[in-house]
Amino acid sequence: MPWAKVRKSVAARRKENREKSARHYARHRENILAWKKAARQLAAREDEIARLKERTERRNEKESGGSSAVRKQERKNSRLEADFQRVSESLARYTQGLPSRFLEQLCIQYISQFPSSESSARFVLESAESHINDFMKTCYRLEGDVLQEKGANEDYFRAHNLTKQVKCILDCIVNMEMTALDPDEDLGKAFRAKKLQFQRASVEGWINGTSSIPE
C-alpha cells in the first residue's frame, strides 16, 4: 500500500475515533457529569471524615494529657528494652549468671593455668570458646529477628551495634589468648594495652547498649 494511502487511512481512523467519542459524550453527557459530581462528593466526604477523625484524636490527646508521639515513643522504648533484655538474659545464661564479670573470670582461668602446659591452657580456651560461640549466635539471632520484624530501623542498628561490640571484645580475647600462651609476656600488661576495661560497670553498660565500641 502506498505511504500516502496509509497516512490517509490513519488520519481517517483518528477522525472517526474523535467523532465517535464526541457522539458518545453527547449521548451520555448527563451520566458522565453525574458520575463526576458523585466522585467529587465522595472525595469531599472522605476529606471531611479524615478532618473529623483528626479533630477527635487531638481532643482525646488533650483530655488524656498526652500525645500520640509520646505514646509511640513509649512503645518504642518498651520494645527496645525487651529486645536487649533478651540479650542480657542470654548472656547471663551462657556465662553462668555472671555477665558483668565474664572477662574477669576468663582472666582468672588463664592465670590459674599459666604457666602450666600448653595442652591444659588450650582446654580452658576451648571451654571459653564454646560460651563465646553460643553468645555470638544469640547476637546474630537478635539481629535477624529485629531485621525481620521491624526492618533496618533504629532497633536493628542498635542490635547490630551490640554485635559489633561483641566482635571487638572477642578480638581482644583472641589477642589475650595468644599472650597467655607466651611465657615471655605479662598477661596483665597485655590486658591493659588492649584497653579491655570492661569490668562490672562498663560491661553492664555494654549489655544495655549504652557504652561505645573501644578504640
pTM check: above 0.85: no
Backbone angles phi, psi at 209, to 5 degrees: 80, 20
Give 170-195 as a 3 state SS string: HHHHHHHHHHHCCCCCCHHHHHHHCC
Cell of 175: 589477642
Which residue's entry shows cell 463526576? 36
Question: Could you please report the per-residue DSSP string of 51-109?
Answer: HHHHHHHHHHHHHHT--HHHHHHHHHHHHHHHHHHHHHHHHHHHTTT-GGGHHHHHHHH
What does the pLDDT profile of the chain (215 residues) look like in tens digits? 555 555 667 778 888 888 887 777 777 777 767 777 877 888 888 888 888 888 887 777 776 665 666 777 777 667 666 655 665 565 555 445 444 445 445 545 544 544 444 444 454 455 555 655 666 666 667 667 766 766 667 766 776 776 666 666 666 555 555 554 444 545 444 444 443 433 333 444 444 554 443 33
